[in-house]
Structure 1
Amino acid sequence: MSDPILTLQGVYTDIAQYHILQGVDLQVPRGEVTMLLGRNGVGKTTTLRTIMGHWRAKAGKVMFDGRDIAALPTPAIARMGVGFVPENMGIFSDLTVEENMVLAAVSGPIDAGRLDWIFAAFPPLKTFWKSHAGNLSGGQKQMLSIARAMVEERQLYLIDEPTKGLAPAIISTMARALRELKQQGASILLVEQNFSVAKALGDSCVVMDDGRVSWSGAMAELAASAELQERLMGLSMEAHQ
């Protein structure tokens, strides 16, 4: 792999007395969608939060675009061009959709063309622009969460289970928006439990188990092998859609 945008080398992260990440090594190719897969509780969310600086790595390197960001605060990482969509959405329910978006635009006023693209990807956000985010449906809140990360062009997006609990029509909307984001040249590291989404979007894949990377390779290779899926994750993609 030449010139990955993100590389983790021997990353260890502890949370309280628990040793969550135990030597994570992974790479995210530039301009591709990398799926981060594995059973619940193996360290996927901790990996994203460690990259973003929410949790501090005890050891190892987190190299973003050639620079070790492991010791940087979260705002500095965001300003370098990393967008983050947490599993809990991270929106401000008491603020309007517009106010949520304005707060996410750390570099200044929202670009009009960028906003038009977001409205085309997620039409409900335009409809409820002046409404409080707490009044949105679950799917609309997830749209807002992703849109907040997209409000400025980022080099890398870290996205944690964006389709969890959503209806199929909204999942299709999410997948289409992420595909368009990739077409714009962005790199994406995506945690996803919906294997049909992973298969459709993923270029490469990293599978975690017990705080370490147990396998990495092409998403197509994993998708094509039920035996590999069973060995790495204890289930097959076809049986778990």
Structure 2
Amino acid sequence: MSEPLLRLEGVFTDIEQYHILQGVDVAVPAGEVTMLLGRNGAGKTTTLRTIMGLWRARQGRILLDGRDIAALPTPVIARAGVALVPENMGVFSDLSVEENMVLAAVSGPLDRARLDWIFSVFPPLKTFWKLPAGNLSGGQKQMLSVARAVCEERKLYLIDEPSKGLAPAIVGTLVKALKDLKAAGATILLVEQNFSMARALGDHVAVMDDGRIVWTGAMATLAADPALQEKLMGLSMEGGHG
């Protein structure tokens, strides 16, 4: 395991009267894919949003390359090289696909070679380049959401349930794109309910329940142990909030 690029130490986050994160400790190694798994309401989305500064940690440290970013505003965290693909996609429907992409490029004009790679893995984005993003199907909007995050090289990609509600063929396209990103040395923290997608992409796993990390280890260990999967992923059948 390489050195962690990101480390959360004792992170607590409250949303209104709810104590959602209750002492989260997790390390995200550089250049690898860490899966954040667990039942609905366990705190996975809250963890990503807290890292991004969209929700503020009440307590604890969030270290990016050793620098505590827990109190920084979201735009500063973005400029430090962190990109979030939100669960709701966050696409601007009235803007063209091109305009959505240009807005996402924080460091300057879009890189032509990187754009060619994006078009190769997500061909519909080239087809609809000049058209409003609202014309895209749900799967194509998810492609655009991922493309916006990866339009330039970032230190860390936070990706929240990219396969949710998508047809298997689209999920396969997303897996290929994320494998390409991983092969290029990207550091990714990925929330995903689709275990086959998690198994295909993940190097490491952190499993959440009730606002805490309850298991960490290698994806290969979890993938090879059905009893452990049942024990941990069976949590996904329970209810909850967050």
Q: CA deviation at 1:230?
A: 1.5
User: Secondary structure of the residue that 1:24 maps to in structure 2?
Assistant: strand
CA distance in 1, matches of 2:115, 2:198: 27
Q: CA deviation at 1:233?
A: 2.3
Partner AA of 2:140 in structure 1: Q
- Structure with higher RCO (Cα < 8 A, 6+ apart): 2
The CA deviation string for residues 213-234 of structure 1, in whole angstroms up to 9 with x for no partner, is: 0000001111111111121121
CA distance in 1, matches of 2:2, 2:118: 31
The CA deviation string for residues 100-158 of structure 1, in whole angstroms up to 9 with x for no partner, is: 00000111111111111111110000000011001100000000000000111111100
CA distance in 2, matches of 1:170, 1:231: 29
Q: Is the 8 A contact 2:39 2:235 kept in 1?
A: no
Q: Is the 8 A contact 2:209 2:235 kept in 1?
A: no
Aligned to 1:182: 182
CA distance in 2, matches of 1:235, 1:156: 28
Q: Is the 8 A contact 1:102 1:110 kept in 2?
A: yes
CA distance in 2, matches of 1:16, 1:221: 37
Aligned residues: 236
Residues 1:102 and 2:102 aligned together = yes
For structure 1, the 5+ residue unaligned runs are: 237-241
Partner AA of 2:158 in structure 1: L
Partner AA of 1:134 in structure 2: G
Aligned to 1:216: 216
Q: CA deviation at 1:235?
A: 6.7
Residues 1:27 and 2:4 aligned together = no
Within-5 A mapping of 1:189-208? 189-208=189-208
For structure 2, the 5+ residue unaligned runs are: 237-242
Q: Is the 8 A contact 1:229 1:235 kept in 2?
A: no
Q: CA deviation at 1:66?
A: 1.2
The normalised TM-score by structure 1 is 0.96
CA distance in 1, matches of 2:156, 2:169: 26
CA distance in 2, matches of 1:198, 1:153: 22
The CA deviation string for residues 160-206 of structure 1, in whole angstroms up to 9 with x for no partner, is: 00011111111010000001001111100000000000011100000
Aligned to 1:50: 50
Partner AA of 2:191 in structure 1: V
The normalised TM-score by structure 2 is 0.96
Q: Is the 8 A contact 2:38 2:235 kept in 1?
A: no
CA distance in 2, matches of 1:195, 1:234: 12
CA distance in 1, matches of 2:2, 2:179: 22
Q: What is the root-mean-square deviation in Å for CA atoms of aligned residues?
A: 1.1
CA distance in 1, matches of 2:13, 2:198: 26
Partner AA of 1:230 in structure 2: E
Q: CA deviation at 1:2?
A: 4.5
Aligned to 1:129: 129
Within-5 A mapping of 1:49-128? 49-128=49-128
Aligned to 2:151: 151
Give identity over the alignment, percent.
Answer: 75
